[in-house]
Structure 1
Amino acid sequence: MGEGVKALLAKPIKLADQVAKQSGSGQCLRPECKDLRARAEKLAEVLRQAARAELYERPAERIVAGTLQALGKAGGMSARCFESHSRLRRFLTFNPVSGFPRTLALLDTAIEDVAWLIRISSPRADADANGADDDADLRGLPNIAQNEPILFLIWDHIARLHTGSLAVRADSASTLASLARDSPHFSKLIVEEDGIAPLVKLLKEGTDDGQEAAATALGFLGRDEGSVEKLLHAGVCSVYSAALKEPPMRVQAAAAEAIASLAHQSPRCQDLFAQNNAVRHLVGHLAAGTIQEHSRYSVGGSSTRHAAPPPPEHMRSLHSVVLASTPSMLPGVSGYSSNEPPNSSEGSNGRNNQTQSAAAGRTTTSRVTAPPPSRPQLSSNGSSGRGPRETEDPATKAHMKAMAAKALWKLARGHPGVCKSITESRALLCFARLLEKGDDGAGTHLQYYSAMAIMEITRVAEHNLALRQSAFKPSSPPAKAVAEQLLSIVRKGEYDDLLLLPCITSLGCLSRTFTASETRVIGPLVRLLDDREPPVAKEAIVALTKFACTENHLHVNHCRAIVDDGGARHLVQLVYLGDELQIEALILLCYIALHVPESEEVAQAGVLAVLLWASKQGQLVQDLRVERLLSDAKGRLDLFQSRGSII
Structure 2
Amino acid sequence: MGEGAKAMLAKPIQLADQVAQQAGWQCLRTDCTELRSRATKLAELLRQAARADQLYERPAARVMDDTVRALTKAAGMAARCFQSHSRLRRFFTLNPVSGLPRVLAMLDTAREDVAWLIRISNPQDDDDEDGLRGLPNIAQNEPMLAMIWDNIARLHTGGLAARADSAATLASLARDNPHFAKYIIEEDGVAPLVRLLKEGTDEGQEAAATALGFLCRDEESAEKLLHAGVCSVLAAALKEPPMRVQAAVADAIASLARHSHKCQDLFAQTNAIRHLVTHLASGTIQEHSKYAVGGNASRNTNTAAARSVRQGGEPGSSTNEPPPNPWGASTSTRQQRATTNQMQSVVQSAMAANTTMNGVRPPAARPHPQLNSNGSSGRGSREAEDPAAKAHLKAMAAKALSKLAHGHVGVCKSITESRALLCFARLLESGDGGAGTDLRFYSAMAIMEITRVAEHNLALRQSAFKPSSPAAKAVVEQLLCIVRKGNDDCLLRPCITSLGCLSRTFTASETRVIGPLVQLLDDREIPVMKEAVVALTKFACTDNHLHMNHCRAIVDAGGARHLVQLVYLGDQLQIEALILLSYVALHVPESEELAQAGVLAVLLWASKQAHMAQDLRVEALLPDAKARLDLFQSRASR
Deviations 1:270-323 (A, max 9, x none): 111111121111010000000112655599678969x99997614554552113
Alignment of 1:498-537 (within 5 A): 498-537=490-529
Q: Secondary structure at the match of 2:438?
A: helix
Aligned 8 A contact 1:541 1:585 in 2? yes
Bigger Cα displacement from structure 2, 472-481 vs 632-641? 632-641
Equivalent position amino acid for 2:112 in 1: E
Q: Under a length normalisation based on structure 2, what TM-score does the superposition of the two structures give? A: 0.89
Q: Distance in 1 between matches of 2:138 and 2:106?
A: 11
1:78 equivalenced with 2:78 (yes/no): yes
Alignment match, 2:295: none
**1:269 lines up with 2:243 in the alignment:** no
The answer (yes or no) to whether the contact 1:292–1:376 under 8 Å persists in 2 is: no
Q: Does 1:477 align with 2:466?
A: no
Q: Which of 244, 252, 264 is the equivalent residue of 1:250?
A: 244
**8 A contact 1:295–1:383 mirrored in 2:** no
Q: Equivalences for 1:228-627 in 2 at 5 Å?
A: 228-293=222-287, 295-296=289-290, 313-314=320-321, 317=340, 318-326=342-350, 327=352, 330=355, 386-443=379-436, 445-494=438-487, 496-627=488-619
1:625 Cα offset (Å): 0.5
Look up the SS of the partner of 1:439 in the other structure. Answer: coil
Relative distance call for 1:14 and 1:255 in structure 2 (3 A) is: same
1:200 and 1:113, CA in 2 relative to 1: closer, same or farther beyond 3 A?
same
On the 8 A contact 1:295/1:334 being kept in 2, the answer is: no
Q: Which consecutive unaligned segments of at least 5 residues does structure 1 have?
A: 336-354, 363-374
Q: Give a deviation string over 1:400-433, Cα, whole Å, max 9, x none.
A: 0010011011111111111111111021111110
Matched residues in 2 for 1:564 and 1:51: separation?
A: 84
Match runs of 1:169-180 below 5 Å: 169-180=163-174
Q: Partners in 2 of 1:591 and 1:210 — Cα distance? A: 58
Per the TM alignment, residue 572 of structure 1 is displaced from its structure 2 partner at its CA by 1.2
Which whole-Å CA distance do the structure 2 matches of 1:308 and 1:164 have between them? 43
Identify the range of structure 1 (604-613 vs 257-266) with the bigger mean alpha-carbon deviation.
604-613
Report how many residues are paired. Answer: 602
| Residues 259 and 407 in structure 1, CA contact (< 8 A), matched pair in contact too | yes
Offset at residue 134 of structure 1 (A):
2.3
AA at the equivalent of 1:50: A
1:145 and 2:139 aligned: yes
8 Å contact kept, 1:508–1:544: yes
Q: Give the AA of the match of 2:460.
A: L
Instruction: Judge conservation of contact 1:283–1:297 (CA < 8 Å) in 2.
Output: no
Change (3 A) 1:607 1:146: same
Letter in structure 2 aligned against 1:488: C
Distance 1:273 1:173 in 2: 24
SS in 2 for 1:123: coil
Deviation at 1:601, TM superposition (A): 1.3
Match in the other structure for 1:217: 211
Structure-2 separation of matches of 1:302 and 1:105: 70
Please give the TM-score of this superposition, normalised by the length of structure 1.
0.88
Q: Shift in Å at residue 325 of structure 1?
A: 2.1
CA contact under 8 A between 1:590 and 1:629: conserved in structure 2? yes
Equivalent-residue separation in structure 2 for 1:394 and 1:288 (angstroms): 12
* Structure-2 change in CA distance of 1:390 and 1:143 (3 Å): same
* Distance (Å, rounded) in 2 between the aligned partners of 1:538 and 1:383: 52
Counterpart position of 2:304: none
The verdict on how the C-alpha distance between 1:384 and 1:77 changes in structure 2, with shifts beyond 3 A counting, is closer
Structure 2: which amino acid aligns with 1:471?
Answer: A
Q: Which residue of 2 is the match for residue 347 of structure 1?
A: none
Partner of 2:100: 100
Higher mean displacement: 149-158 or 442-451: 442-451
Distance (Å, rounded) in 1 between the aligned partners of 2:250 and 2:346: 28
Deviations 1:358-399 (A, max 9, x none): 99xx8xxxxxxxxxxxx9976778998833211211111111
Using the aligned pairs only, state the percent identity: 75
What is the rounded CA distance, in whole Å, between the counterparts of 1:572 and 1:184 in structure 2? 46
Report how far residue 173 of structure 1 moved.
Answer: 0.7
8 Å contact from structure 2 (residues 372, 378) kept in 1: no
For 2:298, the equivalent position in structure 1 comes to: none
Partners of 1:302 and 1:572 lie apart in 2 by 55
Alignment of 1:10-29 (within 5 A): 10-26=10-26, 28-29=27-28
Give the counterpart of 1:157 among 147, 151, 176: 151
Once the two structures are TM-superposed, the CA of residue 4 in structure 1 deviates from its matched residue by 1.6
Contact 1:171 1:210 in 2 (8 A): yes
For 2:34, the equivalent position in structure 1 comes to: 35
What is the Cα-based RMSD across aligned positions, in Å? 2.9
Matched, 1:193 2:199: no
Distance 1:95 1:566, change over 3 A: farther
Once the two structures are TM-superposed, the CA of residue 111 in structure 1 deviates from its matched residue by: 0.9
1:608–1:634 Cα contact (<8 Å) kept:
yes
What is the alpha-carbon distance in structure 2 between the residues aligned to residue 504 and residue 308 of structure 1? Answer: 34
- CA distance in 1: counterparts of 2:136 and 2:25, whole angstroms: 32
**1:475-524 Cα distance to aligned partner (Å, 9 max, x none):** 11111111111111111122x44211111111111110111111111111
Segments of 5+ residues of structure 2 without an aligned counterpart are: 293-306, 324-339
- Distance, in Å, in 1 between the alignment partners of 2:36 and 2:422 is 79
Distance 1:537 1:329, change over 3 A: closer
Which string of whole-angstrom CA distances, capped at 9 and with x for unpartnered residues, describes residues 149-183 of structure 1? 11111111111111111111111111111111111
Structure 1 residues 616 and 187, CA gap change in structure 2 (3 angstroms)? same
Tell me the amino acid that sits aligned with residue 139 of structure 2.
A
Cα distance change, pair 110–165 in 1 and its aligned pair in 2 (3 A): same
Give the CA deviation at 1:109. Answer: 0.9
Tell me the equivalent position of 2:299: none
Contact map agreement 2:202 2:242 (CA 8 A) in 1: yes
CA distances 1:49-106 after superposition (whole Å, capped 9, x unpaired): 1111111111111101100011011111111111143689879999644422211111
2:549 maps to amino acid: N
Cα 1:437–1:242, aligned 2, differ >3 Å: closer, same or farther?
A: same
Contact 1:120/1:159 (8 A) holds in 2 = yes
State whether residues 288 and 312 of structure 2, in contact with CA within 8 Å, keep that contact through their aligned partners in structure 1.
no
Distance in 2 (CA, whole Å) between partners of 1:162 and 1:216 is 18
**SS of residue in 2 equivalent to 1:552:** coil
Alpha-carbon distance, 1:604 to partner? 1.6
> Quick check: 1:284–1:297 contact (8 Å CA) kept in 2?
no
Rounded to whole Å, the distance in 1 between the matches of 2:497 and 2:162 is 48
* Aligned partner of 2:178 among 168, 176, 184: 184
**Contact 1:603–1:645 (CA<8 Å) still a contact in 2?**
no
